[in-house]
Amino acid sequence: MATPALPGAAVLPEHVAKSYLASLGVPVPNGALAGDLAAATAAAAQIGYPVALKLQAAALPHKSDAGGVMLDIADPAALATAWRRMHHCVRRRHPGLTIDGVLVEAMVKGGLEMIVGARRDRDWGPVVVVGLGGIWAEALQDILVLPPDLDPSELGAELKTLKAAPLLEGTRGGPVRDVAALVDIIGRIGSLVRARPEITEIEINPLVVFERGAGVLALDALIVVEEQHSS
């Protein structure tokens, strides 16, 4: 897998991380970065309501905790209200914050929320992390830490060891999820962290896994890039 250069050494804000991951074949929602309310309104009209607003700032990786995420915005009037409320809340909690803009995205419904990521372990080197995502990632700690070079059949077997595996397999009449698409994304992230030593952490949380054949979408993404020093 060809891996283009990363845009500098930093915590990449969501819109930059998503753009980079999309170039590597990771599906992301339809969206656009807006610098003001007029641009956000125009983007929402093109994307189609309902939309989500996500404030973008490199120094604010956890946007929800600061009031930087507004969901299920149904029309231009609601968008204007959400825009003002979001900026007021974030500015109050983080005065002086440098804001890149606001990501306007199509709302996504349904699917099973997973977390897929990678990091550089001090002892083991690059590893891939996968498990139940969203609000459950920290609450349940249903997480696998895997080598980054497993093939699809090995990844599929590992996924079966998760406590959440029945949710992927269609427990209690629920839909069978697109495990093949999930495995593909895990493999891409593993290849990326192996190819780019400057990446210290990747996190896609949540990666929504839809019904079998319907694919996946990365709803949020974070990439931490460390400056490489030549010896």
Last-in-domain residue among 73, 106, 139: 106
What pLDDT is attached to residue 77? 98
CB 159 within 8 A of CB 130: yes
Residue appearing with tokens 């991951």:
21
CATH code at position 84: 3.30.1490.20
Are 140 and 173 members of one domain?
A: yes
Domain ranges, residue 143: 11-27+109-225
Are 60 and 170 members of one domain?
A: no
What pLDDT is attached to residue 150? 97
**Whole-Å CA distances, 101 to 1, 67, 86, 119, 181:** 31, 15, 12, 27, 31
- Those residues whose C-beta lies under 8 Å from the C-beta of residue 105, and which sit 6 or more positions away, are 29, 30, 31, 47, 51, 52, 54
What pLDDT is attached to residue 138? 65
CATH code at position 200: 3.30.470.20
Are 92 and 179 members of one domain?
A: no
What is the domain count for the chain? Answer: 2
What pLDDT is attached to residue 219? 96
Domain membership of residue 5 (yes or no) is no
- The tokens describing 32, both together, are 């656009």
What pLDDT is attached to residue 155? 98
Average pLDDT across each block of 10 residues of the chain; the chain has 231 residues. List them in order. Answer: 78 92 96 98 98 93 87 98 96 92 96 96 92 74 92 97 92 90 98 95 96 97 80 46
What pLDDT is attached to residue 229? 54
- The tokens describing 222, both together, are 């974070």
